[in-house]
């Protein structure tokens, strides 16, 4: 269980405000003129996608606490009402910056490059005719306008769907005059439509679905006068709740809960900035929101819909140069994957090195007659994953296939339900882990009959078994036939699929049992070395740092003289560089082309240099409410690779690394040294193909 100790509130920064600070760093990528233009547009969209989830989960949680009269404070000591007030203020400001960047910088720059989003006021007559015909043939048949009157109450509006509020004048065929209607844009309709090249007047001309509807919405209300048409979008609470004590069948419970995600309590209303005050007030009333929840935006209400544009525009000069992931040297020639792993441990660094060896391990295992069993965890893998196809083939060939599917992987629940059903159809054993604990560990085990008995081949990773995200998430994967690690992984699978007490493991640290105490012990060992006058060093890289007891241990280590560097991509509650508290702690966040995802933990250990890789961040949920594994890198050569590639390269980054101060602010400090980007350097060292490195 999480520790019950209370620590001083001024030792911690607020989680929600730290998350908004992270999104400001992502937005800075969109503002950076050195980033290719289409990638700047993509970063802008990523901010919108991140903010959607922020409101769906974090802001929704705050509003729920306030509604229930909760006054409990977090480690930072702020009551939910104060957090909500500050979050709302900063979110409005951030979104204002985002739209200013879009309208004043990025769209004009795209227009100069022949990539234009055509405004209604500037349509030529021929453009208007084509757009009108498209609206009449492709859009209008699937629209269902809903007039608001006693027999047509306000419709249920799906989470994050595109809608239009229409103000009307006049009476219809039945003499009704409600003055208002709602038009919902079906999700099947594309939000961005490409015009034929001969009409657009530019190389790449697009028109928004919202522009079409604004222009021709009157055709949905024959004989009536349209006074105003305003796009709007509501964000709802999307956190699923399944009662651990009441649930008897997790899969059935989740299937019953998922449809309600689209209709949770409203938490944010986005409307076009030209929306009339009476209509804005009416919509707020319908969704049970107040003025602080209203976000007026000068443009389309969902910038995520622009995410597809870079892939639809053939302008490689405006995108990151392509690259082909390399392979570890041991795998660069023709190889048998089992033979290669038997000879030595293999470390793969994604996305700079290919995920193909992991796929080949599973592919070879699925058809190898000597392979008896395959066991794997699935957290996020995608609906069309090649890995799943190999698991299905293995099960069809009669191998013992066991898959631990995490049904509660947020926003991947439906995909994982589908995967589970397909696996069960071919006779695979599908289990859902332990109710109340998400299975977040990334483990693959292949049991093979060989000359001297059974041998286990293991893959452990810091990231998901998702071939697509391995192209742009940084992660490490370890392939090994080490029998002691194999025993550990087998023991964890036994816990997940069967019943029994947790046992001591040879090398792996496991949440919720040994990971937290072992991590604290490793930090305290460095404290002891420092107090004894010996060198002491901690370097840790992760996505988030929130767990208070770990943070307090780091403060103690700082006071003892331990030299500490933390590379934290996202949320960080620790205050670095505070006199008398954390003077020996530095925190940096690297934001670039790839999403920094690997978790690496380094302890100098009196010169032994212990290295651990994990799927777990330093958060309460990872330590106490998830099943995680943290595994050592034992081979000296691979250990040095992790130190060089995963830590030192990021500590020397002077162009994409944001340094954090004790108040939660971040800056990129100017450097007199030659420009050094960790991601670009790793691409140059390990990738294959055209790349640009300054």
* Catalytically annotated residues: 440
**Distance of alpha carbon 386 from alpha carbon 551, whole angstroms:** 40
The sign of the dihedral angle between the CA atoms of 326, 330, 332, 334 is negative
Phi, psi (rounded to 5 degrees) for 523: -65, -45
Phi, psi (rounded to 5 degrees) for 344: -165, 155
Specify the pairing of strand 473-480 against strand 595-596.
Answer: parallel
Which of these, 570, 510, 524, 520, lies nearest to 546 by C-alpha position? 570
Residue 191 near residue 247, CB atoms below 8 Å:
no
**Distance of alpha carbon 439 from alpha carbon 172, whole angstroms:** 57
* DSSP bridge partners of 667: 659
**Distance of alpha carbon 86 from alpha carbon 62, whole angstroms:** 12
Using alpha carbons, list the distances in angstroms from residue 126 to 55, 111, 122, 134, 139: 42, 20, 11, 12, 19
Residue 515 near residue 617, CB atoms below 8 Å:
no
Long-range contacts of 518-525 (CB under 8 A, 24+ apart): 518/630, 519/550, 519/601, 519/618, 519/623, 519/630, 520/549, 520/550, 520/553, 522/601, 522/603, 522/605, 522/610, 523/550, 523/553, 523/554, 523/557, 523/603, 524/553, 524/556, 524/557, 525/603, 525/605
Which of these, 104, 93, 64, lies nearest to 81 by C-alpha position? 64
Using alpha carbons, list the distances in angstroms from residue 339 to 346, 390, 424, 635: 12, 20, 31, 18
Q: Count of CB atoms within 10 A of residue 630's CB?
A: 24
Give start and end residues of each alpha helix (H) in 56-144. Answer: 60-67, 80-101, 107-112, 125-134
Count of alpha carbons within 13 angstroms of residue 384, beta-carbon side: 1
* Location of structure tokens 């709740």: 241
**Distance of alpha carbon 407 from alpha carbon 409, whole angstroms:** 6
User: Who's near 318: CB < 8 A, 6+ residues apart?
Assistant: 36, 37, 38, 39, 113, 310
DSSP string covering 644-661, please?
IIIIIHHHS--SSEEEE-
**Distance of alpha carbon 445 from alpha carbon 341, whole angstroms:** 13
Strands, DSSP E only, in 414-501? 429-431, 438-439, 443-450, 453-461, 473-480
**Distance of alpha carbon 481 from alpha carbon 459, whole angstroms:** 9
């Amino acid at each position: 269980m999480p520790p019950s100790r209370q620590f001083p509130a001024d030792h911690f920064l607020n989680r929600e405000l730290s998350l908004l600070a992270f999104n400001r760093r992502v937005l800075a990528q969109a503002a950076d003129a050195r980033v290719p233009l289409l990638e700047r547009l993509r970063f802008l969209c990523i901010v919108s996608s991140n903010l959607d989830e922020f409101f769906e989960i974090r802001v929704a949680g705050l509003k729920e606490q306030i509604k229930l009269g909760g006054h409990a404070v977090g480690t930072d000591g702020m009551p939910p009402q104060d957090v909500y007030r500050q979050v709302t203020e900063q979110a409005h400001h951030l979104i204002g910056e985002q739209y200013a960047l879009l309208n004043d910088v990025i769209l004009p720059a795209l227009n100069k490059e022949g990539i234009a989003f055509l405004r209604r006021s500037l349509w030529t007559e021929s453009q208007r005719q084509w757009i009108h015909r498209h609206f009449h043939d492709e859009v209008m048949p699937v629209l269902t306008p809903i007039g608001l009157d006693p027999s047509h109450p306000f419709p249920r509006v799906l989470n994050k769907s595109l809608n239009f509020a229409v103000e009307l004048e006049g009476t219809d065929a039945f003499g009704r005059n409600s003055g208002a209607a709602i038009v919902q844009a079906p999700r099947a309709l594309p939000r961005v439509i490409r015009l034929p090249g001969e009409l657009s007047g530019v190389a790449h001309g697009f028109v928004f679905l919202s522009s079409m509807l604004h222009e021709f919405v009157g055709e949905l209300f024959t004989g009536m006068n349209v006074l105003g048409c305003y796009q709007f979008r509501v964000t709802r609470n999307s956190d699923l709740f399944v009662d651990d004590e009441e649930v008897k069948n997790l899969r059935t419970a989740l299937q019953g809960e998922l449809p309600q995600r689209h209709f949770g309590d409203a938490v944010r209303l986005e409307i076009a900035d030209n929306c009339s005050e009476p209509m804005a007030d009416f919509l707020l009333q319908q969704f049970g929101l107040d003025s602080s929840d209203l976000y007026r935006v000068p443009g389309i209400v969902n910038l995520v819909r622009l995410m597809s544009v870079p892939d639809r525009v053939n302008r490689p000069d405006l995108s990151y140069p392509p690259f082909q992931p390399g392979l570890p040297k041991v795998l660069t020639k023709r190889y048998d994957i089992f033979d290669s792993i038997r000879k030595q441990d293999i470390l793969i660094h994604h996305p700079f090195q290919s995920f193909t060896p992991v796929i080949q391990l599973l592919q070879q295992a699925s058809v190898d007659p000597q392979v008896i069993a395959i066991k794997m965890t699935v957290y996020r893998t995608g609906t069309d994953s090649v890995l799943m196809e190999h698991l299905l083939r293995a099960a069809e060939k009669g191998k013992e296939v066991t898959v631990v599917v995490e049904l509660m992987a947020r926003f991947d629940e439906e995909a994982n339900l589908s995967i589970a059903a397909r696996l069960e159809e071919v006779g695979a054993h599908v289990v859902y882990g332990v109710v109340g604990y998400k299975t977040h560990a990334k483990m693959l085990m292949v049991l093979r009959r060989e000359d001297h008995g059974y041998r286990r081949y293991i893959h452990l990773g810091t990231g998901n078994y998702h071939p697509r995200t391995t192209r742009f998430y940084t992660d490490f994967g370890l392939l090994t036939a080490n029998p002691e690690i194999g025993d550990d992984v087998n023991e964890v699978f036994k816990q997940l699929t069967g019943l029994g007490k947790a046992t001591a493991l040879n090398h792996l640290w496991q949440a919720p049992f040994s990971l937290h105490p072992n991590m604290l012990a490793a930090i305290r060992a460095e404290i002891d070395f420092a107090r004894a006058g010996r060198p002491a060093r901690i370097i840790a890289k992760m996505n988030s740092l929130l767990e208070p007891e770990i943070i307090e241990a780091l403060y103690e280590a700082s006071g003892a003289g331990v030299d500490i560097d933390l590379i934290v991509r996202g949320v960080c509650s620790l205050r670095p560089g505070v006199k008398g508290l954390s003077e020996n702690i530095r925190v940096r966040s690297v934001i670039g082309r790839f999403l920094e995802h690997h978790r690496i933990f380094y302890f100098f250990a009196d010169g032994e240099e212990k290295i651990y890789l994990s799927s777990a961040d330093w958060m309460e949920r990872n330590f106490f409410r998830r099943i995680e594994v943290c595994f050592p890198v034992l081979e000296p050569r691979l250990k040095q690779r992790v130190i060089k590639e995963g830590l030192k390269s990021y500590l020397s980054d002077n162009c994409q690394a944001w340094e954090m101060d004790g108040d939660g602010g971040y800056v990129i400090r100017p450097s007199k040294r030659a420009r050094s980007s960790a991601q670009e350097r790793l691409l140059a060292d390990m990738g294959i193909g055209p790349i640009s490195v300054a």
